């Protein structure tokens, strides 16, 4: 993977467990993956409903992952195993203090098969209060241009 973006199909699956309740979300989108120096960038768009779009960029490094979302939702959050990282979440009601405690993360991309996977497992804290355990898995598959 070099400095030219590779078109990919993004298959995202999120499982949130909060107070014994589970919420499963699945999304499929078109995106791109690109490597610049020691960082991989995954970009894709998601539709929250018929009118609200969110542009998502995920910066992947060996030691941490940063998710940046803009549009209908604005958020910037870092993830690093074994540590608590503060971030920002802009809601229609104003900014909310958010933090994550990352349990595990992983990323792999196979150049030959044009397939890969990103996984993140983390606890979310809103305003210092635990707000659910998140399991995020993103599968990537290269697409012919």
Q: What is the pTM of this model?
A: 0.91
pLDDT over 70, % of the chain: 97
Low-confidence ranges of the chain (pLDDT < 50): none
Bridge partners for 71 per DSSP: 54
**Cα 1 from chain centroid (whole Å):** 20
With a CB cutoff of 8 Å and minimum separation 6, the contacts of 15 are: 22, 23, 24, 25, 134, 135
| Tokens read off for 47 | 């539709």
Q: CA torsion, points 103, 8, 67, 106, in degrees to nearest 10? A: 20
Residue 86's pLDDT is 93
d(CA 20, CA 114) in angstroms, rounded, equals 37
**Mind listing the pLDDT tens digit for each residue in 17-38?**
998 899 999 999 999 999 998 9
Q: Which residues contact 113 (CB under 8 A, 6 or more apart)?
A: 142
- pLDDT at residue 123 in the model: 96
Residue 145 has a pLDDT of: 56
């Amino acid at each position: 993977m070099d400095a030219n973006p590779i078109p990919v199909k993004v298959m995202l699956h999120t499982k949130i467990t909060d107070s014994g309740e589970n919420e499963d979300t699945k999304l499929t989108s078109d995106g791109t993956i690109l490597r610049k120096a020691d960082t991989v960038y995954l970009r894709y768009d998601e539709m929250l409903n018929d009118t609200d779009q969110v542009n998502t960029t995920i910066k992947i490094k060996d030691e941490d992952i940063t998710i940046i979302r803009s549009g209908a939702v604005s958020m910037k959050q870092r993830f690093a195993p074994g540590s608590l990282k503060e971030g920002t979440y802009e809601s229609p009601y104003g900014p909310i203090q958010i933090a994550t405690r990352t349990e595990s993360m992983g990323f792999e991309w196979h150049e030959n098969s044009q397939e890969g996977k990103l996984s993140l497992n983390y606890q979310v804290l809103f305003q210092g209060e635990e707000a659910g355990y998140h399991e995020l898995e993103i599968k990537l598959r290269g697409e012919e241009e």
